[in-house]
Structure 1
Amino acid sequence: MYQKLYFNKYGYDNVIKKTAEFCLTDNAILEIGSNCTIQDYAFFQLTKPKPHLTIGDNVTIGRHNMITVKSRMSIGSNTIIGGYVQIIDHNHQFKKSTIIRLQQAEIQHTTIGEDCWIGAGAKILCGVTIEKGVVIGANAVVTHDIPAYSIVAGVPAKIIGVRG
């Protein structure tokens, strides 16, 4: 239960496996609703400048997930995230005029709506909004916004259907 210490808001009946890891900067805000499950070896990294992660109710975050936040990220209620998924709200710049390791991060809000299913191994990149009811296929790389109830797959992810 030591994981409760990392949360600014903590609902009830959550299951957080003891191998889940939380690396939070001093000003991080981490909020979780109720009836959520965070599986083994999920890794959360909230780093400066102003990280704020909100997880809704009835969310399942699978094994070996990596969620990194520098600004604002939200995961809507009733969303299921398979194993080995990466969700990131930032990217490194790569201008020719400066060596890469000295360049600032590009930071954009990343949002996952309610009632979504994210398949194993998917990658959700910075600045993406995934609307309500979206299904993301295994190993998809989501680089752009996804409209409600779409089914996407591939690299980069493309709409292959709509939930019926």
Structure 2
Amino acid sequence: MATDKASYRNRGGILQRLVTAYKRFRYFSHAGSNLVVKRSAEFRMVKHAVLEVGSNVTIQDQSFFQLTMPDPKVFIGDNTVIGRRNIITAKNLIRIGSDVLIGSDVQIIDHSHGTKRDTPIRLQKAQIGTVEIGDDVWIGAGARILMNVKIGNGAVIGANAVVINDIPEYAIAVGSPAKVVKFRE
């Protein structure tokens, strides 16, 4: 029988298992079975950060997790794939469901800069929110999921979409800003 070489299903050899074991110990508050974390995945986290993943999760090459002040938490469900070069940045809460496929170059961010006129941008306090992504969601390559967004179960987010508003269950949303164009049948 031929080996399945699809990158998100390939569990890797002994070196990959050692890399995953080290990163599981070093960065994860909890990790289910069959976690795969590719060697070039990078994590920058404050000491009290919470990063929990379910079983059969894959974090692809060059993905970047930044969990920073004040109280960052990231929860990822079972059977979820974080694609290549993803950026997940949390100051508060990002929750990603089970059976989620996230394409390459996706950004998920739960905060933004302030925009008051009387203070330079670089001196403004962060605006902090949450991001919730339901189960069975597909996020296309290059999409941006911004703060205070909830994506419902079964939704599809098109490539390069910028999600700034909630997306209902089973909706297919595309564009910048993302708009629902139809629903899954």
TM over 0.5: yes
Matches within 5 A, 1:1-164: 1-4=21-24, 5-164=26-185
Larger radius of gyration: 2
Structure 1's unaligned 5+ residue stretches are none
> Comparing both structures, which one devotes a greater share of its residues to helix?
2
After the TM superposition, which of the residue ranges 117-126 and 5-14 deviates more from structure 2? 5-14
* 1:55-95 Cα distance to aligned partner (Å, 9 max, x none): 00000000000000000110000000000000000000110
Contact 1:113–1:132 (CA under 8 A) maintained in structure 2: yes
What TM-score do the two structures reach when normalised by structure 2?
0.88
Task: After the TM superposition, list the runs of 4 or more consecutive aligned residues in structure 1 that deviate by more than 6 angstroms.
Answer: none
CA RMSD between the two structures: 0.5
Q: Give me the identity figure in percent.
A: 54
Number of positions where the alignment pairs a residue of Structure 1 with one of Structure 2: 164
Structure of higher RCO (CA pairs closer than 8 Å, 6+ residues apart): 1
Q: Which amino acid aligns with 2:44?
A: C
Partner secondary structure for residue 23 of structure 2: helix
Structure 2's unaligned 5+ residue stretches are 1-20
Partner secondary structure for residue 2 of structure 1: helix
What TM-score do the two structures reach when normalised by structure 1?
0.99
Partner secondary structure for residue 101 of structure 1: helix
